[in-house]
A and B are shown apart, each in its own frame.
Chain A
Amino acid sequence: MPAAIVAEGLSKRYRIGELQASYGTLRESITRGVKHLAGREHYHHRQEIWALDDVSFAVDEGEVLGVIGRNGAGKSTLLRVLTRITSPTRGRAEIRGRVGSLLEVGTGFHPELTGRENIYLNGSILGMKRREIRGRLDEIVEFSGIETFLDTPVKRYSSGMYVRLAFSVAAHLEPQILLVDEVLAVGDAEFQRRCLGRMEDFSLSGRTVLFVSHNMQAITQLCDRAILLEGGRVALDGPSQRVVARYLQEHAGTGSERSWPELADAPGDAQVRLRSVRVVDEDGDVVESADIRQPVGIELAFSVLTEGPPIVPKVKLVDEQGQVAFNAIDTDARWHEPTAPGDYTATAWIPGNLLSEGLTLVDVAIVELGTVRFHHHAGVAEAVSFHVQDPGEGDSARGLFLGQWKGVVRPLLSWDTERD
């Protein structure tokens, strides 16, 4: 399959001055020039940053590539370079096919013009021919649901109507390659769901999409592959679940595995010491990302040094917002007795269809349980983390719904429905 987008060593340099004071007055420039000539001031605005630094990747035709990264990592700059809004300082890129770009919805909307006039204006700015717009006008209007206000100036629209109209023009673009930025960040949940649905239609029709977003759920659902940008460089390029998981873990400062090779440094006390904690799949391999439908294991390895009061391994799962999903201990009778000295590995299996999507942080501990209180022998907060992702294939709790789905847990319930 031919590549639709090939980027080779794309780099973009900004002078800090250009970023900070986006424009100056002639006077400032002149006084700066004079001071410079007089040797009184150095060009401190000459400081440079590389917003993009040697970025290379390829996107195959029909592929949906996600681009993630923190603010300032270079995502927007990459998109601006690929859409030819600004040119790179070094490197090159080749784009094969008719390109449509959406850096915001409603680019160029004019408040004095009517809804109908703005459809023509916006469509034309986004690269549609007038003939195409005329042909799709009815669909655009119907999709937006603003028929009644079509001949009202958009300055009298509510912000919701405005966004709906703007989005429905964008949704009727038919480029072969679509470059999209954070468009989904605006609007309500219903609107975001429609955006996602439209993007999915678009990718199913075999067109190429490059999608920049902070919405990790959208990235894992829509994209086969993702790249992670850090400081203008490609830090990771791979399957979107893995890249998203890595990004979230880095953000949280934890990984999927942690070990303490030196017993003396390991968390614990004279009775028990933790040796390692790992997030594993059913094959026992360490994973960063787990399919919501599959079980995932938290594996604790620990050494019991002396036989003391009865102890038991415990895990606590916390979501990204810090809400506790649940605590769990092993209730097996063996833990009612003192544990003999030796090395142990205990794995807590979290069934599929239990956790919600997103990053899950795991606190682990070896505790001594009374009836109403317990005592930590060895405990590590946020020892490991993993990302739960839902491919949205219809057999998970969210069915085919792609929008926001709240809840700390997301069990797949069995429903009985009878007709009375």
Chain B
Amino acid sequence: MTETELHEPSARPGAAPPAEEVAGPAPVFVIRPAARWPHLDISELWHYRELLGTFVWRDVVVRYKQTFLGVAWALLVPVFTAVIYVVIFGRFAKFPSGNLPYPILVFSGLLPMQYFTSALTGSSTSLIQNINLVTKVYFPRVLLPLSAAMVPIVDFVLGLSVLLVMMFWYETWPNGLALLLAPAFIGLAFVTALGIGFFLSAVNVRYRDVPYVIPVFMSVLPFVSGVPYAVAEIPEHWQWILSLNPMTSVISGWRWAVLGANAPVPGQVAVGVAVAVVLFLGGLAFFRSSEPRFADTI
């Protein structure tokens, strides 16, 4: 700002306000005790959309700075994991792979799984990772888990290139128009991870046990989500039990849409979606109701 701009208002009292204030009346913030069940203020989130972008940008940039292999890690991690799965579960244990070659079955399952793991872990620890922001400046706290769940999408998209190469190699092709539903299944993973992330990040503000608990569940999750096998190949009552886990629908749906695997049972997907919606709404409500105390307890 220049000196003239600075002193103008005082030099001409009562003069027209500066241009940026003409747009509307001055915003009025009312500060009052927190409501017991605060609603989600969508218009406020819209107002802060640039900050959401900034958080995502920051985490993506920081992630690859000062790593020797940088972006290559986004490819190497799922590839290494897939090789281990293929050797142990494909060669030795001979898990059922349905109508897909086993390596591509595993890799196509690992991609959304690793996205989910990163999104869930990132959003669960997002508040304490940004403790200096939470205690020093206001913004809707929802932005932190939200951006943390968006960041690993970059890794996921990079990983798709490997999947594409494998698709050429094994000559497996998408199931026509079903491909259009592929993003919806990733969206289901996003919603589920974010819902649990909302809940765990709020718990983590108070109890720092969360980061120790998550890996335990994450090491089991691939096996109850159908990563090393085709869900359609296991006994049906087990399929229904596994469908309570939204990631089962994510992985079987994703394989169906992108690789032309056997279609998931619609009823099972519906169960998965319902669970995800409940997790999301419950997590969000818990997050919002504990939000007023974050800065005091963190």
Give the CA-CA distance A18 to B293 in the complex, in Å: 10
Contacts of B295 in A (CB 8 A): 80, 85-86
CB < 8 Å: which of A95, A103, A110, A124 contacts B136? A103
Contact B31 A88 (CB under 8 A): yes
Whether A88 touches B297, Cβ cut-off 8 Å, given contacts A108-B133, A125-B139, A205-B9, is no
Tell me whether B171 is interfacial, beta carbon within 8 Å: no
Give the CA-CA distance A125 to B296 in the complex, in Å: 20
Give the CA-CA distance A126 to B21 in the complex, in Å: 18
Give the CA-CA distance A117 to B6 in the complex, in Å: 27
Tell me whether B206 is interfacial, beta carbon within 8 Å: yes
Contact B207 A112 (CB under 8 A): no
Shortest distance between the CB of A141 and any CB in chain B (Å): 14
Tell me whether B33 is interfacial, beta carbon within 8 Å: yes
Give the CA-CA distance A301 to B44 in the complex, in Å: 66
Contact A87 B292 (CB under 8 A): yes
Residue of B nearest to A171 (CB): B1
Give the CA-CA distance A126 to B134 in the complex, in Å: 12
Contact A25 B208 (CB under 8 A): yes
Contact A174 B209 (CB under 8 A): no
Chain B 59-95 interface residues, beta-carbon cutoff 8 Å to A: 61-62, 65-66
Contact B26 A96 (CB under 8 A): yes
Shortest distance between the CB of B15 and any CB in chain A (Å): 10
Contacts of A22 in B (CB 8 A): 297-298
CB < 8 Å: which of B3, B13, B33, B209 contacts A26? B209
Give the CA-CA distance A84 to B33 in the complex, in Å: 10
Residue of B nearest to A17 (CB): B297
Tell me whether B54 is interfacial, beta carbon within 8 Å: yes
Contact A201 B61 (CB under 8 A): no
Give the number of chain A interface residues (Cβ < 8 Å).
58
Whether A112 touches B62, Cβ cut-off 8 Å, given contacts A88-B32, A94-B28, is yes
Shortest distance between the CB of A127 and any CB in chain B (Å): 8
Residue of B nearest to A82 (CB): B31
Residue of B nearest to A77 (CB): B296
Whether A85 touches B135, Cβ cut-off 8 Å, given contacts A117-B61, A205-B7, is yes
Contact B133 A125 (CB under 8 A): yes
Contacts of B137 in A (CB 8 A): 83, 85, 101, 103, 107-108, 125-126
CB < 8 Å: which of B30, B139, B205, B208 contacts A93? B30
Tell me whether B132 is interfacial, beta carbon within 8 Å: yes
Which 10 A-B pairs have CB atoms at the shortest separation, nearest pair first? A206-B9, A93-B31, A84-B138, A124-B54, A87-B34, A92-B32, A97-B26, A87-B292, A86-B295, A26-B207
With A92-B31, A124-B50, A125-B137 given, can you name 18 additional A-B contacts, CB distance below 8 Å? A22-B297, A23-B205, A25-B209, A85-B134, A90-B33, A94-B29, A95-B29, A96-B27, A103-B136, A113-B65, A124-B51, A125-B133, A201-B6, A201-B7, A204-B7, A204-B10, A205-B6, A205-B9
